[in-house]
Amino acid sequence: MSGSSDPTPERHRVVVVGGGFGGLYAVRKLRHAPVDITLVDRRNFHLFQPLVYQVATGALSPGEVAAPLRGIFKRNENVSVVLGEVTGFDLARRRVIVDRSVTESGLGELPYDSLIVAGGSRYSYFGRDEWKPFAPDIKSVESALEVRRRVLIAFEAAENERSPERRDAWLTFLVVGAGPTGVELAGQIAEIARDTLRRDFRTIDPRGARILLVEMDDRMLPQFPPRLSARAANALEQLGVMPMPGHKVVDIEDDFVTLADPSGREERVPAHTVVWAAGVVASELAGRLASEADVGVDRTGRVPVGPDLTLAGHPEVFAIGDMAQVHDSEGEPVPLPGVAPVAIQEGRYAAHVIRERLRGKESRPFHYRDKGNLATIGRSKAVADIKGLQLSGFLAWVIWLTVHLFYLVGFQNRLLVVLRWGFSFATRGRGARLITTGTGGTVGTTPDEPDHPRGPPRERLGSGRN
């Protein structure tokens, strides 16, 4: 049943921080419970992170992989959405501190009886944050649009370049990190060069582009069984991608990347377009929550939680998703992959615990049900590891499509994505190949990144916001 739109003292107040997978599924599980829920996020939409790389490569538009939070919960009167950035916690007073300056409301406090923090993660540049302007990630809509702009600008610049050396540098694309995101991104860039753009230019042949996929591990997709990693590497090579396992990035500048091979020998690769997809650390919220609870964080910045996903000494506070390190009843860390299914299951579990407590019941410790790993490489090419069943090729690709459509939020988005994918499969085209500007500034500039000279003069063609 749905509660009243006006919270009352008798009703249990739940604050959920973060509208990603963990927070979204926690609210979904709680929305018919006798509680009042406040969902806080600095963005007004839920972003379907597994498909953001397709925004970066022009296969999809931002609005097709995102859904407004207010729209998702518009029929649930006991769910309120607050647009703002959480800046701190007061666990003693059970308050969440929120900066609502985006709506010119200033700082505010949200009281809670139960708190679920799902702050997510961000990419780690391994202490070399100065590389970020040269090698953007694809963690947000803005950064994905910036990657799309850089990829398309590179072909445009190569078309007008007279020097063969400089043209080759523009046609060299380097992806750092060969996990699922890096592999999927490299495969998409290869398909753009090989299929989508092959007749669009008069001076260059886009099929001559070099796509380098750099990975510190000794194989692609190290999270997968070696057999599937080998098949993925072979499929990438067929697309024109050059896998470079055992290599690490030593330096990145505006027009080159320095790599070290397994023997330590360094090579300077001229390249203007670099995308970062290697390593993640917990969001800053994990550190703030840990500091307030007087506990430490692990080497990736995650806050420790117990078997029921709560903070030590604060059973009313749950931390879930990529920002939390789960420990078992013996205090030993539980290894969990940083993937969406973990956050989804933890969000549902935290909501279940709250509901059971309201009934005066205890809950069992959290247990992750591993449903397998999926990664797509390109058209009709994917790998799947599902409970020991190892698949590759067309069947794995169909499973990948089905699973992602199932978890995509909103019927309209599912329909639009199916139509987009069907059009792309039939024509090898991409309907979102627009070179757009950033938000309120020079092309490609995001609110937390300074503009950096990258490529030819940037023209303001349109808005990069959805």
Indicate the helix (H) or strand (E) that contains 381: strand 381-386
3-state secondary structure 327-340: ECCCCCECCCCCCH
The whole-angstrom separation of Cα 364 and Cα 379 is 43
Strands of 50-189, DSSP E: 66-68, 79-83, 85-90, 95-99, 107-111, 114-117, 121-123, 172-176
Check: CB of residue 46 under 8 Å from CB of residue 25.
no
Max intra-chain CA distance, the chain: 75
Q: Is 192 exposed, middle or buried (0-12, 13-18, 19+ CB in 10 A)?
A: buried
Q: What are the helix (H) ranges across 171-215?
A: 180-191
The pair of three-digit structure tokens given for residue 273, joined into one six-digit string: 């377009």
Indicate the helix (H) or strand (E) that contains 250: strand 248-252
Residue entry with tokens 């490569």:
57
Q: How far apart are the two ends of the chain, measured CA to CA in Å? A: 34
The whole-angstrom separation of Cα 167 and Cα 26 is 50
The pair of three-digit structure tokens given for residue 124, joined into one six-digit string: 């780690």
| 168-170-176-180 Cα dihedral, nearest 10 degrees | -100
The pair of three-digit structure tokens given for residue 106, joined into one six-digit string: 């200033």
The whole-angstrom separation of Cα 354 and Cα 12 is 9
Alpha-carbon distances, residue 58 vs 108, 178, 380, 445 (angstroms)? 39, 20, 18, 18
Pick the catalytic residue: 184, 191, 215, 346? 184
> What are 96-101's contacts with CB under 8 Å, separation 24+?
96/15, 96/17, 96/40, 98/40
The pair of three-digit structure tokens given for residue 19, joined into one six-digit string: 């509208």
The whole-angstrom separation of Cα 373 and Cα 341 is 10
The pair of three-digit structure tokens given for residue 217, joined into one six-digit string: 């591990």
Q: Is 88 exposed, middle or buried (0-12, 13-18, 19+ CB in 10 A)?
A: middle
Residue among 29, 22, 30, 26 nearest 47 (CA): 22
Residue 184 falls in the annotated catalytic set: yes
Rg, the chain, Cα only? 23
The whole-angstrom separation of Cα 80 and Cα 86 is 16
Q: Report, as residue numbers or ranges, the catalytic residues.
A: 184
